């Protein structure tokens, strides 16, 4: 009696339900539906685009058009082409305002970033009442620029002269805002005091991203504090340094409120910024078309300067 070998069983065929999982349970999304953007996102973007186009693009294009005319802000006008732009390069008042604005922006940008970085390093250290100090240093940023300007105007005109006189320093008892050679310094002091608050916050954010292990390893190797700053801290906050430099310089090129509150462009026209010249000539002097050409030219100057700053500073970041 011989035993027969067991007959091999064939693999079980998948049922129709298992071969078509999409028909039972949750439907499987197709590739077409995965690549499609929901309409809700477009409806969320459309209002912002409409507001930006209506409040920014249309006024800019309108201003560029009127920069090619002799429009005084009222009445009739005629087309003059590029004569407004050509006359800007022959206007001594416009040229001196450009020189003052760029000089002020360069000095203020350097001072703000140096002071802000030093304060941020101190506030990032293990000191008592660190959180309270951070809040105190942020207060100037939430104050109105005009209010700060009027307060410093009073200090320069009354408080500081009285203090220096009582200290026996009559040479420093004069109001620097009334001196054509030194009025710019009062504007720089006020602007730097107010602008440091925002830059300190950005630098603190960058310092928080640096691992503490790097400083511990550098300390074990005997690196000094300056060596740690030069080799660890500054290279690792290079992106924050770039942001602060670009934003600060762009903001200071548009200085207006501080000058109005402190000197109103004086003594004479020694502290007139480009924005103040545009405002006075365009809205008060009947030079709307001419100053609009100045504004358009200045817009492209700011864009060019910001682009050059970004390219140079980002290349410096890569070299670290």
3-state SS record for 63-111: HHHHCCECCCCCCCCCECCCHHHHHHCCCHHHHHHHHHHHHHHHHHHHH
* DSSP E strands, the chain: none
What's the domain count of the chain? 1
- 210-236 mean pLDDT: 90
- Domain extent, residue 226, equals 84-319
Measured in residues, the chain has a length of 320
CA neighbor of 272 nearest in space, from 93, 122, 30: 93
Q: Is residue 88 part of a domain?
A: yes
Alpha-carbon gap, residue 107 to 96, rounded angstroms? 17
**Rounded Cα–Cα distance for residues 218 and 136 (Å):** 32
**Whole-structure pTM value:** 0.82
pLDDT digits (tens, 9 = 90+) for 294-311: 999 999 999 999 999 888
Q: Tell whether 93 is covered by a domain.
A: yes
Mean pLDDT of 184-205: 94
- 29-71 per-position pLDDT tens digit: 555 556 677 888 888 899 999 999 999 899 999 999 999 999 9
Least confident range from 17-21, 201-205, 215-219: namely: 17-21
Domain assignment of residue 97, yes or no: yes
Res. 8: pLDDT tops 60: no
The confidence score (pLDDT) of residue 131 equals 79
Domain-located, residue 167:
yes
Q: What are phi and psi of 79, to 5 degrees?
A: -80, 130
In a domain, 290, yes or no: yes
In a domain, 111, yes or no: yes
In this structure, is residue 5 part of a structural domain? no
Q: Is the pLDDT of residue 14 over 70?
A: no
Query: What is the CA angle 107-109-111, rounded to 5?
Result: 65
Indicate which CATH number applies to the domain containing 213.
1.10.3720.10
Q: What is the pLDDT of residue 50?
A: 94
Residue 120 lies in a domain: yes
Q: Write down the pLDDT at residue 9.
A: 52
Query: What per-residue confidence (pLDDT) applies to 31?
Result: 55
Residues of the chain with pLDDT > 90, as a percent, come to 59
């Amino acid at each position: 009696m011989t035993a027969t070998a067991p007959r091999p069983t064939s693999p079980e065929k998948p049922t129709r339900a298992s071969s078509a999982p999409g028909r039972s349970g949750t439907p499987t999304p197709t590739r077409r539906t995965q690549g499609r953007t929901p309409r809700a996102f477009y409806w969320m973007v459309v209002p912002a685009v409409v507001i930006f186009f209506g409040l920014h693009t249309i006024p800019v294009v309108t201003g560029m058009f009127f920069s090619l005319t002799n429009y005084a802000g009222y009445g009739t006008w005629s087309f003059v082409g590029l004569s407004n732009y050509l006359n800007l390069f022959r206007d001594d008042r416009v040229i001196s305002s450009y020189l003052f604005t760029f000089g002020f922006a360069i000095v203020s940008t350097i001072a703000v970033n140096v002071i802000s970085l030093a304060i941020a390093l101190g506030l990032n250290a293990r000191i008592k009442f660190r959180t309270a100090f951070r809040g105190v240093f942020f207060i100037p940023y939430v104050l109105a620029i005009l209010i700060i300007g009027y307060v410093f105007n009073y200090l320069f005109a009354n408080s500081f002269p009285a203090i220096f006189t009582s200290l026996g320093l009559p040479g420093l008892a004069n109001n620097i805002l009334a001196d054509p050679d030194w009025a710019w310094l009062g504007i720089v002091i006020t602007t730097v005091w107010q602008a440091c608050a925002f830059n300190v916050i950005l630098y603190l954010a960058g310092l928080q991203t640096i691992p503490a292990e790097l400083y511990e390893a550098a300390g074990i190797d005997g690196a000094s504090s300056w060596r740690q700053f030069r080799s660890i801290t500054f290279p690792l906050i290079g992106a924050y340094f770039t942001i602060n430099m670009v934003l600060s310089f762009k903001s200071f090129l548009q200085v207006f409120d501080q000058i109005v509150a402190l000197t109103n462009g004086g003594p004479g026209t020694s502290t007139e910024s480009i924005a103040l010249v545009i405002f006075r000539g365009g809205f008060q002097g009947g030079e709307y078309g001419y100053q609009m050409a100045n504004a358009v030219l200045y817009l492209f100057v700011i864009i060019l300067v910001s682009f050059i700053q970004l390219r140079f500073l980002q290349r410096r970041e890569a070299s670290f």
